[in-house]
């Protein structure tokens, strides 16, 4: 979709699913991370799409439809094939491309920000670098900080 005027903000589950499918359309064939989905995780896309759609619908729209634990799945994947910083950077790039291709607005912007937070947190935990200090910036310059009481 090249007509920017046709883009709108993410507003419902259908939009979340559209985004998820656009992302996986890129990710599954990507030369950097595609193998993680196809060869390592052996992802069943039709089984996975409703789950990850619920995750994003809950994160972005407050739907409360996701009740899983996303980190555990990634920890299991990391045990099979080490997830490196470059994998997370590529995931973020493909996610942001998918968001920008389809949507614009505050919720779309939050989809990208939340993805950065998740990617940074997962990478730090998997890499064993979780500390109380603010996280280092990703290549895009985003810094994760902790606010409020622990």
Residue 132 resides in a domain: no
Using left for φ > 0, alpha for ψ between -120 and 50, and beta otherwise, residue 139 falls in alpha
- Give me the phi and psi of 39, to 5 degrees please: -95, -35
Residue 61 resides in a domain: yes
What percent of the chain lies above the pLDDT cut of 90?
Answer: 73
CA dist 148 and 150 (Å) reads: 7
Tell me which residue of 10, 99, 8 sits closest to 61, measured CA to CA: 10
Could you tell me the residue range of the domain that residue 105 belongs to? Answer: 9-127
Question: In this model, does residue 29 exceed pLDDT 70?
Answer: yes
The predicted structure's pLDDT at residue 137: 44
- Global confidence as pTM: 0.80
Half-sphere exposure of 92 (CA within 13 A, CB side): 24
State how many domains the chain has.
Answer: 1
Residue 3 resides in a domain: no
What percent of the chain lies above the pLDDT cut of 70?
Answer: 82
Residue 1 resides in a domain: no
**CATH number of domain containing 49:** 1.10.490.10
Half-sphere exposure of 21 (CA within 13 A, CB side): 10
Q: What is the pLDDT of residues 55-101, one digit of tens each?
A: 999 999 999 999 888 888 889 899 999 999 999 999 999 999 999 99
Better pLDDT: 147 or 91: 91
Residue 112 resides in a domain: yes
């Amino acid at each position: 979709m090249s007509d920017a005027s046709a883009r709108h903000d993410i507003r419902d589950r259908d939009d979340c699913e559209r985004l998820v499918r656009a992302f996986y359309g890129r990710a599954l064939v990507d030369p950097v991370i595609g193998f993680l989905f196809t060869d390592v995780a052996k992802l069943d896309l039709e089984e996975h799409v409703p789950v990850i759609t619920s995750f994003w619908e809950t994160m972005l729209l407050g739907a409360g439809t996701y009740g899983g634990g996303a980190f555990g799945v990634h920890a299991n994947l990391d045990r099979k094939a080490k997830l490196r910083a470059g994998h997370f950077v590529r995931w973020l790039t493909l996610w942001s491309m998918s968001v920008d291709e389809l949507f614009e607005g505050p919720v779309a912007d939050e989809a990208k920000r939340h993805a950065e937070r998740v990617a940074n947190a997962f990478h730090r935990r998997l890499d064993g670098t979780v500390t109380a200090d603010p996280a280092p910036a990703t290549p895009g310059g985003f810094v994760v900080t902790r606010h409020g009481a622990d």
